[in-house]
Chain A
């Protein structure tokens, strides 16, 4: 990879340890993706915010880094583990977790990030104009940005996005280029797919696709289904872009996603027939989804605990528009700054299984939180779990 003399100097430590570390990361990721140079980016979205995932080593690293590191471009951050506004309601969370999570939050704020604590930055901000280079570490957000927002990012890692935030640069490679080849088309064979089906399609596509895939046989899914597709895809593989295609070209490899393939994904992630509690929001729910939910809940109440995750910015808007009232009246608990994935708010001593409509949520609930999962589309959750 070719570096400018300024970049070389930073890599050699002439501008301090922080920039040297950042450039070391950019050079490694540049070499890894065969980049020929670094290019400017305008927005970095960082992962590595939840104490559950980054642990003591991560907390300490960020505390040290934030002594002099400052972000150079717009930077937003992923969810934390907990919602500090509601933490007193969750007795099983220990003080150590709260202390370390607060330290991580404060380190990011010290570095100058916008405290969004959301995996859905695309639901909070207007996206910049098409073809803008960004650096998104949250996989569902990277896939959304590339596939539905017309932006350009690779599926960044926590450190590569952090290095991009500090330097304002990213390696010019893979999905950042104009001439990406998409050698595979996935043929959606399911009629009237729910958002859960789209999540499973995404999970399947992430497994079989490489960097980018075409998807045929799909007509204008709603935002909930699009987000489910992005979430599922980001969980299972390295694929970071899809495009819906009408007519199939002759050159790409064709793979069908039908009943059989869907059942395989379902059986891998659905391990319980019913859940003790319900969680909605992985990715966190947007305004449109909260509006839908409030309409679906008119005159109904949840028969069990239901945790609903959305970003704080979206929660504020939804309160003004009165969507939250209806959801809370029906017994839904609105939580912000965290999400279904890897939150310790779910007490595993009291919870054996969780009902959710999220494939991404299911994967992490099963593999990291360590509970069983009961998968159902939202319409079925409302039908079967409310009265």
Chain B
């Protein structure tokens, strides 16, 4: 594990995209569904997943989207990125969603659809 941004432990199914995510524009804050056609995970829900994506982009208000997802029980259980941006990091910090940053190599090795556990205490993804 490269770097812990927000601590915690969670288990879930990987939803992986290679597109950076603009949380404000692309994610429905009530349901967690991706509503922008440009994404390869269009119409999929990020609810209860381990969301694996490169990093966040776009509006700083995306942090509120992450917090809203958590309040609406539609948030991912954990997030894994290759680069930590302030919007995702601060959103996860306030919403208590474990978040880690991994190397490109580790990112590539994570398979979409696999069930994994993220545990920042033992520094493991398994």
Contact = CB atoms under 8 A, between A and B. Distances in A.
Contact of B93 (A28, A139, A161): A28
Contacts of B55: 238
Interface in B52-96: 55, 57-65, 67-68, 70-72, 84-94
Contacts of B25: 363-364, 367-368
A318 interface: no
B86 A154 contact: yes
Given A237-B57, A367-B36, A28 B6 contact: yes
Given A28-B6, A31-B3, A32-B86, A157 B101 contact: no
A21 B57 contact: no
A158 B89 contact: no
Given A32-B84, A157-B87, A57 B68 contact: yes
Contacts of B84: 31-33
Interface in B24-59: 24-26, 29-30, 36, 55, 57-59
A236 interface: yes
A368 B59 CA distance: 12
Contacts of B67: 57-58, 61, 159
A156 B57 contact: no
A163 B30 CA distance: 25
A47 interface: yes
A159 B63 contact: yes
Contacts of A47: 59-61
Interface residues of A, number: 40
A53 B5 contact: no
Contact of A238 (B6, B24, B85, B92): B85
Most chain A CB neighbours (cut-off 10 Å) among B5, B6, B94, B99: B94
A55 B28 CA distance: 11
Contacts of B20: 237
B4 interface: yes
A194 to B, nearest CB: 24
A48 B71 contact: no
A116 interface: no
A53 B3 CA distance: 30
Contacts of A24: 93-94
A160 B64 contact: no
B5 A31 contact: yes
A159 B91 contact: yes
Contacts of A155: 60, 86
A28 B89 contact: yes
A96 to B, nearest CB: 15
Closest 5 CB pairs of A and B: A32-B84, A28-B93, A57-B71, A32-B89, A159-B90
30 contacts: A21-B94, A25-B93, A28-B90, A28-B92, A28-B93, A29-B90, A29-B93, A31-B4, A32-B5, A32-B84, A32-B101, A47-B60, A47-B61, A48-B64, A50-B61, A53-B59, A55-B68, A56-B68, A56-B71, A57-B67, A57-B68, A60-B71, A157-B85, A157-B87, A157-B91, A159-B64, A159-B93, A160-B90, A236-B58, A237-B58
Interface of A: 21, 24-25, 27-29, 31-33, 47-48, 50, 53-58, 60-61, 137-139, 154-161, 163, 235-238, 363-364, 367-368
Given A32-B88, A160-B63, 20 more contacts: A21-B94, A28-B6, A31-B89, A54-B61, A55-B29, A55-B68, A57-B64, A57-B71, A139-B60, A156-B60, A157-B91, A158-B61, A158-B62, A159-B67, A159-B94, A163-B90, A235-B59, A237-B58, A367-B26, A368-B24
